[in-house]
Structure 1
C-alpha cells in the first residue's frame, strides 16, 4: 500500500514512512490513538505533498498507520508491530499475524521504493518525518524545531544541518534520536545503494496546520536545494 506522487525531477526522491493514520477495518486499533504521534507523523504527509509539488519531485508515502506496522523498521525488528507505544497498549497487535502484515503492507511499500530507485537512480533521497515536543514516557520537552538524521553517509546531512543552523532554527544533529540506531528505510534504499540521503524530523506542532506546512515547505525547499548544490560541488571530478 503506497501513495505515489509524480514529479519530473527524478534526481530527487521524497519518502514518507509514517504519513498515514489509516487502519484497515479488520484490525482493531483504538481510533483515539490515531491522532497521536504514535499513530502517525503529524503533518508529515501534508508536508511531503507540499514539497513534492514545490520541488516537482516524485514521492512515495506509506498509507497505513505505524500502529498497524512500522514501515520504518526492518522486517525482523521487535518493534515492527508494536504492542506498546509511548506507554499506550496496543492489544490488537498481541499475537498479530506478523508474516501476513509484512506481506500486506511492509513488503509492497519497500518494493515500490526499490523499483523507483532502480528505475530513476536519484542522486538524493530525503525522508520526511515529524516528532512530538514531549514523549509521555520521556523526561522533558525536546528543544529542537528540526532534526537531521543520517546513517553512515553524512554528506547530505552536514549541508542540511549547516543550512538550518544558519537560519537560526534550533536543529538537532542525530536528534531526537540517532539515525545510526534507526535509519531502516534509508539504510536499505539509499546508503545500501550508494545514494546520498538524509531524514528530516520537524516538530509536529509546527506543521499541524496549513500555515505551518507552508512555512516549513518553503524552508525545506531551500534546504534541499542547498544540499543538492553542495553535493554537486563536492562530487569528484570525472577522470
Structure 2
C-alpha cells in the first residue's frame, strides 16, 4: 500500500469529533416537571475540525441552510418558561441533519437551497456512517433514553420539536407568509390543540398546518420515531425565522407560545 493510500485510510477511520469538541447533544432542564418535552435538532452550526469549512464560504454558515435561525434561543427560553426538558444538537445540519433518516439523501446534503456543499459531494459510505454514528445516533439515543425514563416514571410527554423556516428560499423565491406552522403526519392531536390555543392567544399571526413542510417517514426522523412510534402526542413547530432573529423577537414568541401551550395544558382532554 502506498503512502497516500495509508493516509487516506487513516483519515477515513479517524474519529469525527475530537476529544475537546462538544458532545453531539446537550440536555437542558432534564428534570423539568412539565409534560412538554422539547427537542431542537438544528440548534447549532458548529463544524467538526476534521471537516474544515465543508468547502463553503463563511457567510453561508449564517444562512438557514446551516442551522435553524433563532430556534436554539427560542427553545431554551421555552424550556425555562415552561419548566420543560430540552435536548439540543449543536452541530450544523450540513454536517449531518438530525431530523432526516440516515438513509435519506438529505441527511448529508450535497446541495442546500442552491448552495453546493463540496465536502459532502460523493461522500463515502464509511464517512457517511461516521457522521451518523457520532452525531445523529447519540442525539437521538439521548432523546429516546429521556423519553423512556419519563414513561417508566409514569410521567406523560407531549413532544414538541422546535424549528424555524426562512421566509423565502433562494432556489425557489416564492413568499412563505405564515408566521408559524404546526406539522404532523398521522396524529394531529397536539397540532389541533395548539391551533385552538393560537386562535385564542395569537390570532394576529398567520398560523397553518403542514406548511412550509410536511412530515413524512422518508424525510423526517424525530416525529415518526419518537412521537408516532411511541404513541405520544407530538408536533413539529416551525416559526418563521425573521420573527425570531432578534432577542426581542424570541422573547415575544416565547410568551406567545408559552401562553398557547398553557392553554393546551389547561384544555388537554384526549392528550394526556
Q: 1:66 is paired with a residue of what secondary structure? A: coil
1:8 aligns with 2:45: no
For normalisation by structure 2, the TM-score amounts to 0.83
**Distance in 2, Cα, partners of 1:102 & 1:208:** 29
Q: Give the aligned partner of residue 170 of structure 1.
A: 206
Aligned with 1:202 (options 232, 235, 239): 239
**Distance in 1, Cα, partners of 2:79 & 2:122:** 38
Q: Give the aligned partner of residue 22 of structure 1.
A: 46
**Distance in 1, Cα, partners of 2:103 & 2:266:** 37
**Distance in 1, Cα, partners of 2:67 & 2:48:** 14
Larger displacement relative to structure 2 (136-145 or 1-10): 1-10
C-alpha change, 1:226 and 1:106, in structure 2 (3 Å) is: same
Give CA-to-partner distance per residue, 1:48-76, whole Å, 9 cap, x none. Answer: 00000001111001111000000000111
Larger displacement relative to structure 2 (43-52 or 216-225): 216-225
Which structure has the larger Rg over C-alpha atoms? 2
For normalisation by structure 1, the TM-score amounts to 0.93
Larger displacement relative to structure 2 (122-131 or 111-120): 122-131
In structure 2, runs of 5+ residues without a counterpart are 1-23
**Distance in 1, Cα, partners of 2:266 & 2:45:** 34
1:113 aligns with 2:174: no
Give CA-to-partner distance per residue, 1:185-228, whole Å, 9 cap, x none. Answer: 11101111010011110010110111000000001111122223
Larger displacement relative to structure 2 (80-89 or 113-122): 113-122
Q: Give the aligned partner of residue 60 of structure 1.
A: 87
Q: Give the aligned partner of residue 164 of structure 2.
A: 130
C-alpha deviation, 1:95, in angstroms:
2.9
**Distance in 2, Cα, partners of 1:235 & 1:49:** 24
Q: Give the aligned partner of residue 119 of structure 2.
A: 92
**Distance in 2, Cα, partners of 1:226 & 1:192:** 26
Larger displacement relative to structure 2 (52-61 or 177-186): 177-186
Count of residue pairs the alignment pairs up: 235
C-alpha deviation, 1:173, in angstroms:
1.0
1:83 aligns with 2:110: yes
What is the root-mean-square deviation in Å for CA atoms of aligned residues? 1.5
**Distance in 2, Cα, partners of 1:62 & 1:158:** 27
In structure 1, runs of 5+ residues without a counterpart are none
C-alpha change, 1:235 and 1:20, in structure 2 (3 Å) is: closer
The question of whether the paired residues in 1 share the 8 Å contact of 2:233 and 2:271 is answered with: no
C-alpha deviation, 1:159, in angstroms:
1.3
Aligned with 1:157 (options 172, 191, 195): 191
